[in-house]
Amino acid sequence: MIKQLVILSGPSCVGKTPLLKTVRRLRPDLAMATPVLYTSRPPRPGEQEGVDYYYRTEEEICALPSTRYLVGQARVIWQAVDLQQIAVMFEKESLIVLEIYPTLGRLFLDHPAVQQNSAAFRLRTVFLCPIFEEEIQAVQERMGYESPQQATSGIMLPKLIRRSQQQGKVLSSAEVNDLQLRAHRAYDEIQMAKTYQEVIVNHDGEDSPHWNYLPPIGEAGRTVARFIKILEGDEKEKR
């Protein structure tokens, strides 16, 4: 079997987490392995060191050697990918999925160690996008937003708020500021989709009830079906 590394990126609340959870439930036979990333944010309730993330300070992450680690900023936090960990995983695994912040996805492709070892596995890059560009333009024109960034923020902020409420979070001033930052960054992150091989538009974000069905319904279901095809190693669809 051909070894495959799939990079999955997209803005916050686009549905990356429920997508991966659903694929594991529907297709456990795919044996999808996921590397553990480093993060500078503190652990959330229920998260475990070495299982969800390796929790380190910003200074510790930035000091990691660039020959082995891919280090980059994800909004206000720092993340790192251990490239040696991926190499070791490929000794036993045939399919690895790396969920990564969009800016780190581009850095990953350009890293010398990845380019050197890319012949040993098939690399697929997938961007999960919450909306079409023409929809952003239409919303901007019809609703009077000054820029596509503001229009996208207006679309994404309610999604982010609903997700936080579903997670039982208290919408403190700090939480609201974080959600506003995520919504504000969404348009610039969507532009990064142009550097990815596959772009899947999914209006059913993480806040959508469509994920509650098995298999999911609506665009969530179609996103799952397309992503499974990619994991199975089909040829890239024409965009």
Distance CA 213, CA 211 (A): 5
87 is a domain residue: no
Given this model, what pLDDT does residue 1 score? 64
Burial of 215 per CB tally in 10 Å (0-12, 13-18, 19+): middle
Structure tokens given for 131: 């909306």
Residue 196's alpha-carbon distances to 66, 174, 199, 206, 207, in angstroms, are 23, 32, 7, 21, 24
Distance CA 41, CA 39 (A): 6
138 is a domain residue: yes
Residue span of the structural domain in which 179 resides: 4-34+93-231
199 is a domain residue: yes
Given this model, what pLDDT does residue 236 score? 46
Given this model, what pLDDT does residue 159 score? 96
Distance CA 239, CA 232 (A): 19
Cβ atoms of 151 and 140 within 8 Å: the answer is yes
64 is a domain residue: no
239 is a domain residue: no
Tokens 């579903």 found at: 166
Q: One-letter amino acid identity for 128?
A: L
Q: Structural domain tally of the chain?
A: 1
Distance CA 124, CA 106 (A): 12
Cβ atoms of 198 and 124 within 8 Å: the answer is yes
Burial of 67 per CB tally in 10 Å (0-12, 13-18, 19+): exposed
What CATH number does residue 201 fall under? 3.40.50.300
55 is a domain residue: no
Given this model, what pLDDT does residue 49 score? 95
Given this model, what pLDDT does residue 122 score? 87
Given this model, what pLDDT does residue 119 score? 72
- Largest separation between any pair of C-alpha atoms in the chain: 54
Structure tokens given for 162: 């609903």
Q: What is the pLDDT along the chain (239 residues), one digit of tens a residue?
A: 689 999 999 999 999 999 999 999 999 999 999 999 999 988 877 889 999 999 999 999 999 999 999 999 888 899 999 999 998 999 999 999 999 988 888 788 788 877 777 677 888 999 999 999 999 999 999 999 999 999 999 999 999 999 999 988 888 998 899 999 999 999 999 999 998 999 999 999 999 999 999 999 999 999 999 999 999 987 544 43
